[in-house]
Structure 1
Amino acid sequence: MADQPFSLTRPAVPAASRPGHLPVIVTYLEMTAPPGHAPVRQPAGNLSLVRADPPTWSFYRYLYDTVGEPWLWHERRRLPRKELERSIHDPLVEVWVLYFDGTPAGYGELDRRTQETDLSYFGLIPDFIGHKLGPWLLDTIIRKAWEGGATKLVVNTCSFDHPKALPLYQSMGFVPTRHVAREVRDPRLDGVLPRSAGEHIPLAR
Structure 2
Amino acid sequence: MARWLELPSAPPEGDVLPPDLAVAAGRKTTLQFTVTYLEMTERPNHVAVHPPPRTKVALMRAHTPTLDFYRFLYNGIGEDWNWWYRRSMPDADLAALLEDERIEVFVLYVEGVPAGYFELDRREEPVIDLAYFGLLPQFVGRKLGPYMLYSALEQAWSYEPDRLTVNTNTMDHPRALPLYQKYGFQPYRQEQQTIPDPKLNGIIPG
Q: Is the shorter-chain TM-score for this pair beyond 0.5, marking a shared fold? A: yes
**TM-score interval w.r.t. the shorter chain?**
0.7 to 0.9
Q: Is the 8 A contact 1:74 1:192 kept in 2?
A: yes
How much has 1:150 moved relative to structure 2? Answer: 2.3
2: CA distance, partners of 1:147 / 1:158: 27
Counterpart Cα distance in 2 of 1:167 and 1:135: 11
- Residue number in structure 2 paired with 1:14: none
- Of residues 79, 103, 108 in structure 1, which corresponds to 2:113? 103
**2:130 aligned partner, one-letter code:** L
Partner secondary structure for residue 36 of structure 1: coil
Q: Does residue 171 in structure 1 map to residue 182 in structure 2?
A: yes
- Find the counterpart in structure 1 of residue 29 from structure 2: 20
1:145 match: 156
Name the structure 1 match of 2:77.
Answer: 67
Q: TM-score, normalised by structure 1?
A: 0.84
Aligned residue number for residue 157 of structure 1: 168
Q: Helix, strand or coil: the match of 2:123?
A: coil
Letter in 1 for 2:177: L
Q: What is the Cα-based RMSD across aligned positions, in Å?
A: 0.9
1:48 aligned to which of 49, 58, 62: 58
- 1:16 maps to which residue? none
Residues 35 and 143, structure 1, Cα contact 8 Å, conserved in 2: no
What code does the residue aligned with 2:171 have?
Answer: F
* 2:146 aligned residue: 135
Give the C-alpha shift of residue 149 in structure 1: 3.3
1:125 matches 2:136: yes
In structure 2, the gaps of 5 or more residues are 1-27
Secondary structure of 1:62's aligned partner: helix
Report the Cα distance in structure 2 between the residues aligned to 1:161 and 1:54, rounded to whole angstroms. Answer: 26
Deviation at 1:27, TM superposition (A): 0.3
Q: CA deviation at 1:132?
A: 0.4
Deviation string 1:115-139 (CA, Å, 9 cap, x unpaired) is 3101000000000000000011011
Larger RCO (CA under 8 A, 6+ residues apart): 2
Q: TM-score, normalised by structure 2?
A: 0.84
Q: Distance in 1 between matches of 2:180 and 2:94?
A: 26
Query: What secondary structure does 2:124 align onto?
Result: coil
